[in-house]
Amino acid sequence: MLSKSLLSALTAIILLANFYIIFAYDLEVSRWARLVSTSVFMFLLLLQRTYSKRLLGVFFFLLISDIGLFYYENPLANAGTFLMRITAYLLLVFVVGSELKKLQTSLFQKVLFVVVFTLNLAMLYLLVGMVPGEYVYPGLNLLFYAYGISMISMVIAAISYSNRYSDKTSFFFTAATLCLVFSDISSFIAYYLEFEEFYFPDRFFYILGIAGLVKFNSFGRAIRRSKL
């Protein structure tokens, strides 16, 4: 298992470094800081030697999407970045999917899932409508909806996983996925609505999210089952 103190210390250092860079430098340097941060946590994942190939794929696609951010203003790169993150989030669903195959749900839980899914789609519709015209290109709305649905699916899978096991493994997985969602919402507000102060919570939640995935991987039971 990865040393708790090492992961905590590196997470704190990377957070402070990112906050300083966001405060002191421009967006391009901030994007470099994000790319380096993802690379460091991916290295920590590899350092454990025993890891889920699907989870490694998640980090790979997140890394590629971080590279795409350098060309985010280009419609093709923008679309590619969306596709990379959609793939990463769907892979996160498959990481725990094998453990949810025999999950028994009540009628109330099924209705609750439908309600949550519908409310999130409604919120997604509102967010898409808030994108300024200068950022819109053909297919952007479709990508936004696919992106949102992948996030919703990831959260539902994480919550289902947590409800079934209610242990440290499921806690870190659920916390990590929620942090990634909060990061994306903050990023949307910062970039598309031009409230630049939201880059701080964006990076805060993103780093906690990928650190949480590394921690999740360090639990042997999760590693064995997510290799299926």
The DSSP 8-state label assigned to residue 71 in this structure reads: G
Domains identified in the chain, total number? 1
Tell the burial category of 153 from Cβ atoms under 10 Å away from its Cβ (0-12, 13-18, 19+).
Answer: middle
> Which amino acid is present at 88?
A
Q: Find the radius of gyration of the CA atoms of the chain.
A: 17
| Tokens (6 digits) for 213 | 């995935």
| pLDDT by 10s per residue, the chain, length 228 | 567 788 999 999 999 999 999 999 999 999 999 999 999 999 999 988 777 889 999 999 999 999 999 999 999 999 999 999 999 999 999 998 877 776 666 676 677 677 777 877 887 888 888 899 899 999 999 999 999 999 999 998 898 888 888 888 989 999 999 999 999 999 999 999 999 999 999 999 999 999 999 999 988 654 445 444
User: What three-state secondary structure class fits 73?
Assistant: coil
Between CA 87 and CA 98 the distance in angstroms is 18
* Domain range enclosing 73: 4-226
| Tokens (6 digits) for 79 | 């679309």
Between CA 226 and CA 91 the distance in angstroms is 11
Between CA 16 and CA 213 the distance in angstroms is 20
* 146 CB neighbour count, 10 Å cutoff: 15
| Tokens (6 digits) for 145 | 């909806």
pLDDT of residue 121: 80
pLDDT of residue 163: 81
Between CA 38 and CA 10 the distance in angstroms is 12
pLDDT of residue 120: 76
Name which of 169, 197, 154, 163 is nearest 62 in CA terms.
154
User: What three-state secondary structure class fits 104?
Assistant: coil
pLDDT of residue 24: 97
Domain holding 37: CATH number? Answer: 1.20.1070
